[in-house]
Structure 1
């Protein structure tokens, strides 16, 4: 079932407590408000972010809704400007966004590898996946926000307990993180774009080094954390990820034009991945579980991308 059509790259979906959703349109900076399915309403324009859009992967990227949204209705967005990537907070009222207030700027921006996924963790802090913007040296540089997972407060400050003192950095050695999700044990999982060899699913631990650009995929080097699962780039290119009601990780694949399901074990290892929806909707950018349905967005660069609602069986979800 199509919940929204005619989108110019539907990059991120954020579900509101009332069952409606927001969709970011990467190429225009628009945020679209999709009514709760079954209510009969039509999608409306909630507002627009002041993006600078050039060729490549920048624009309006991730959206996030905090757990206390009902008490304090503020949304968060990750977007590109002429000079950087940044995160803004936006008040929400009567189906529209207010003036964005920048809480974090200076995230490196490039033609490619802009990261862009943001999500609130079980601890209430905002986690941010960034890319190295095409400069591989940034991933190992703890003085740069590029090629990292960040953990910040809603004011944009480094969250208490971060591993590098007053730094927002939570983990480093990443190439381009576009997926963040937590399982029932509150473990953080992240998807990682490889270059030519392997894409990755990583179990994220604070302060750890995930190896880029020194390694790609599993290396068995104790200086770096190996991925829990890896795939040839031809079958994956992972963007958004979600943890399903069965506590498996689901990865939206762009080049692979699929959803991959990865069962998780209590010890943090993974079972055998399975591939679903191969070629059915083209490139898949984001994925969420909403009620007893799975929502995906397409990313086919044709100004006709969609937000779709599918039965759980479409992606191989097991009974929870």
Structure 2
């Protein structure tokens, strides 16, 4: 018993309270907790950053099937995995036609809820080099009676590049019976224009680039560097500004977007030379200056742009108008631009979020349908998509 008491006393002495030791233990405990808290906060910040950077991916997980405009989100992905989509055009039954630069024409069936892609043509003679290839598409205003679809594309003839407009019939989900309605449009690896649309007057309007021959834009005998206007069979309207010629306006470097406002005025977007991109109000027979003037330079016999980008660049492409707002896609600008045609205010949306944007059309649901162009050799390669954007939420 005595030995047991001695051992207890020794143990008590060894475990007696030591202020210094206690403080040291408290400090060590605090530092361990602080390190854990710091690691936790850093991890939380990284997770938050990742979620912020990949917010567009969240949208990709929820494709739209044609929502009502009042219910549609600001932006959603209709379809992904396309090969450099260039132009869009809706059929009367609300299905969507898409051109791809390498020569495919797609029909996206939007009737069954989930979009279904059908290949309705592969144009084998398309010369897809640099910026050239299959570009514009237009549906005839009386499609339900004649089934006519129009394409604009580049091909090689006698060792040189040429652009032409060809009319097809869409029968049983195939393009058939091709007929050339306009040919001999100067082409090149770049500056090929390519937008085609039917105007409110029922005529087909065609934008052409200068095909890297700047002086061609000022040559009235050349179809390059112009906006052209023809009948649906390729003949020349009697009221064209230059008798017997499809030329409607000239002096254009590379116009890739055209749209009409509710008053019937024609607007265009045009690529400048590295800068000084333009929004123009097109008037028949007028000269828009390239390559003699650019930007805010003026000449009494030439039209000045309504708006230009100064030393910046948008690389503007497709265009569409809703009310008083002109929506146009930016390739190099990687944004959707909204220009008020009354106040001339300009705003941009989704800058850098989806990459290069090419085509813009208004769907029958009042939403904007926009293509990306991220595999065209210019931007950061990623799968090309068709975006659906609700203009009411911009």
**Residue 173 in structure 1 maps to residue 247 in structure 2:** no
**Residue 226 in structure 1 maps to residue 226 in structure 2:** no
Q: Distance in 2 between matches of 1:232 and 1:61?
A: 28
Q: Which has the higher helix share?
A: 2
1:292-307 correspondence to structure 2 within 5 Å:
292-301=366-375, 302=381, 304-307=383-386
Which string of whole-angstrom CA distances, capped at 9 and with x for unpartnered residues, describes residues 53-87 of structure 1? 34311100000012111111100000000130000
Which string of whole-angstrom CA distances, capped at 9 and with x for unpartnered residues, describes residues 251-303 of structure 1? 100000001111112xxxx5211111111110000111211321100001147
**Residue 117 in structure 1 maps to residue 195 in structure 2:** yes
Q: Distance in 1 between matches of 2:90 and 2:310?
A: 31
**Residue 46 in structure 1 maps to residue 96 in structure 2:** no
Output the TM-score relative to the length of structure 2: 0.76
Distance 1:233 1:293, change over 3 A: farther
Match of 2:230 among 152, 174, 191: 152
Corresponding position of 1:59: 133
Output the TM-score relative to the length of structure 1: 0.93
Corresponding position of 2:335: 258
Corresponding position of 2:12: none
**Residue 91 in structure 1 maps to residue 169 in structure 2:** yes
Listed as ranges, the gaps of 5+ residues in structure 1 are: none
Match of 1:11 among 86, 92, 100: 86
TM-superposed CA distance for 1:235, in Å, is 3.9
Match of 2:104 among 10, 30, 44: 30
Which moved further from structure 2: 121-130 or 42-51? 42-51
**Residue 309 in structure 1 maps to residue 388 in structure 2:** yes
| Aligned positions, number | 309
TM-superposed CA distance for 1:37, in Å, is 6.0
Which string of whole-angstrom CA distances, capped at 9 and with x for unpartnered residues, describes residues 171-209 of structure 1? 000000110100000000011100033000000000000
Distance 1:278 1:173, change over 3 A: same
Listed as ranges, the gaps of 5+ residues in structure 2 are: 1-75, 376-380
Corresponding position of 2:294: 216
Q: Distance in 2 between matches of 1:199 and 1:37?
A: 38
Match of 1:161 among 214, 234, 239: 239
Which moved further from structure 2: 44-53 or 81-90? 44-53
Which moved further from structure 2: 289-298 or 168-177? 289-298
Q: Which has the higher strand share?
A: 1
Which moved further from structure 2: 2-11 or 149-158? 2-11
Corresponding position of 1:248: 325
Which moved further from structure 2: 141-150 or 224-233? 224-233
Alpha carbons 2:97, 2:106 under 8 Å: kept? yes
- Cα root mean square deviation, aligned: 1.5
Which moved further from structure 2: 302-311 or 288-297? 302-311
Corresponding position of 1:207: 285
